Amino acid sequence: MLYNSGLLFNTYNLYIMEAPVKHYKFINSRTDNIIYYYSLDSTLGPGECREKLEAIKAQVATNIGVFLDTVYWEEIKDED
């Protein structure tokens, strides 16, 4: 139990709702090294998701100094 400003809070009943996310890795195709990780809200449509990933891909390629076609992205799947 927490006591704060005259209010009593039960910490077990306090939940933080987070939007589900999908995780992606960006890979340098010449070296097969993972060069960047990124997460997106999974409620985005396929078009919005692809648009955001392509924008991040361009930023990553620019930041590491490689051609845009050298970088690609893949979704990271849980292997449970």
pLDDT in tens, 31-77: 999 999 999 998 999 999 999 999 999 999 999 999 999 999 999 98
**Does 47 fall in a domain?**
yes
pLDDT interval class at 78 (50, 70, 90): confident
The range of the structural domain enclosing residue 53 comes to 19-76
**Does 55 fall in a domain?**
yes
**Does 60 fall in a domain?**
yes
Q: What is the rounded CA–CA span in Å between residue 5 and residue 67?
A: 56
Distance (Å) of CA 38 to CA 16, 49, 71, 73? 22, 12, 14, 10
Q: pTM (2 decimals)?
A: 0.73
Question: The tokens of 14 are what?
Answer: 């306090």
The tally of domains found in the chain comes to 1
Q: What is the rounded CA–CA span in Å between residue 75 and residue 22?
A: 7
**Does 3 fall in a domain?**
no
**Does 9 fall in a domain?**
no
**Does 24 fall in a domain?**
yes
